């Protein structure tokens, strides 16, 4: 029987989301470990397994194992392999709990850490508790060192400083996570996306157990580095300029315009001194910089128009209210009567 963590003072429903891709040998021990970890858990919970278009017998194994437990073990079968981010989003969309926990299906995350992460999330009134694989059981040169460098870069760019962005084991407030939409390969940046809806002070970190992979093969390698850098640029843009893209493009426009202006002013002075500037490459560079400045400026204006159209034509707001349910009052209450 697993060590129990008391969460009785914080009533909640727990949803666990696990994306899987070609993990047929891990299905049975994974479900066994989850049930062992939550043996005697004092609150309702559900387990959502998302098959991301596996080409092996993962789906069949999940169906066989689910029959041994009950309807709270649910399978979402995607039509094809959409990637871990899409699989995770599908699982999150299907959750019904107040607290959502995500973890990998390769048995490297330990389900026994789930109650501890949930306990800290609720007791410290946080919106996210991220796992930290302090003692990683992966290749040092291909996984651990590149991951540490990436974590430092991501923390510096986003302002959300975590030791381990890549750890899938995380606990969330459901109402916060469901306001985050994941696309592409953005699952590793979930803490940064959460920080667009809440303050980094409400994001915590907890050391978790990390096991070496026993079955199957890792789906990730050093080749994902360039995708991470591109995704990081997108995260940086949306965190700082989502509601004011004109400022982002405007800064670039003024930079190019300033440099081009200095170049053309310098050439203008030379022209007044009687020198020929028409055949100088620097003259063409100055003109090019000014044209680029105009292009970035107009791009910023178009982006502002698109942003305003997006917010005004949908229910999406440029802010979130933490205690919105508490503020709701009937129309005839909450008024100072004369």
- Quote the tokens at residue 39: 């043996």
Beta-strand pair 128-132/170-173 = antiparallel
CATH 3.40.50.300 fits 14-241, yes or no: no
Q: What is the pLDDT along the chain (338 residues), one digit of tens a residue?
A: 444 555 556 789 999 999 999 999 999 999 999 999 999 999 999 999 999 999 999 999 999 999 999 899 999 999 999 988 899 999 999 999 999 999 999 999 999 999 999 999 999 999 999 999 888 766 656 566 777 777 788 888 888 888 888 899 999 999 999 988 887 777 778 898 888 888 888 999 999 999 888 876 665 555 566 777 777 888 888 878 888 899 999 999 999 999 999 999 999 999 999 888 888 999 999 999 999 999 999 999 999 998 888 777 777 666 666 666 666 667 776 565 66
- Contact residues for 152 (Cβ-Cβ < 8 A; gap 6+): none
Give the separation between CA 263 and CA 323, rounded to whole angstroms. Answer: 54
- Quote the tokens at residue 36: 């062992």
- Quote the tokens at residue 63: 């169906």
Sign of torsion, CA 150 151 153 158?
A: positive
What pLDDT sits at residue 234? 80
192 CB neighbour count, 10 Å cutoff: 26
Give the separation between CA 49 and CA 20, rounded to whole angstroms. Answer: 7
**What is the distance between the terminal CA atoms of the chain, rounded to a whole angstrom?**
63
Residue with tokens 């919106």: 127
315 CB neighbour count, 10 Å cutoff: 5
Give the separation between CA 243 and CA 317, rounded to whole angstroms. Answer: 10
Give the separation between CA 285 and CA 302, rounded to whole angstroms. Answer: 26
Give the separation between CA 26 and CA 266, rounded to whole angstroms. Answer: 68
* β-strand partners of 14: 45, 99
What pLDDT sits at residue 1? 42
Instruction: Using alpha carbons, select from 154, 318, 183, 186 the residue that is nearest to residue 244.
Output: 318
């Amino acid at each position: 029987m697993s060590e129990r963590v008391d969460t009785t003072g914080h009533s909640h429903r727990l949803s666990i989301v696990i994306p899987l891709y070609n993990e047929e040998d891990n299905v049975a021990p994974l479900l066994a470990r989850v049930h062992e970890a939550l043996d005697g858990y004092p609150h309702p919970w559900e387990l959502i397994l998302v098959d991301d278009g596996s080409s092996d017998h993962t789906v069949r194994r999940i169906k066989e194992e689910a029959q041994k437990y009950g309807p709270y073990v649910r399978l979402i079968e995607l039509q094809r392999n959409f990637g871990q981010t899409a699989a995770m989003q599908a699982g999150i969309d299907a959750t019904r709990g107040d607290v959502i926990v995500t973890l990998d299906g390769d048995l490297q995350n330990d389900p026994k850490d789930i109650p501890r992460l949930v306990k800290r999330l609720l007791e410290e009134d946080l919106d996210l508790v991220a796992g930290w694989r302090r003692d990683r059981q992966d290749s040092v040169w291909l996984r651990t060192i590149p991951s540490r460098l990436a974590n430092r870069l991501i923390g510096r760019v986003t302002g959300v400083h975590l030791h381990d962005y890549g750890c899938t084991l995380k606990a969330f407030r459901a109402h916060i996570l469901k306001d985050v939409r994941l696309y592409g390969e953005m699952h590793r940046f979930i803490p940064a996306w959460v920080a667009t809806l809440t303050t980094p002070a409400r994001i915590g970190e907890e050391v978790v157990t990390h096991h070496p992979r026993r079955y199957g093969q890792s789906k990730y390698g050093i080749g994902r580095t360039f995708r991470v850098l591109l995704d990081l640029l997108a995260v940086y843009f949306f965190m700082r300029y989502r509601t004011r893209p004109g400022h982002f493009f405007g800064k670039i426009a003024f930079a190019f315009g300033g440099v081009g202006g200095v170049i053309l002013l310098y050439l203008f002075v030379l022209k007044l001194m009687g020198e020929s500037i028409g055949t100088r490459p620097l003259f063409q560079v100055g003109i090019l910089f000014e044209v680029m400045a105009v292009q970035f400026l107009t791009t910023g204006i178009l982006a502002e128009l698109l942003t305003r159209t997006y917010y005004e034509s949908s229910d999406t707001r440029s802010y979130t209210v933490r205690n919105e349910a508490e503020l709701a009052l009937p129309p005839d209450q909450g008024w100072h009567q004369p």
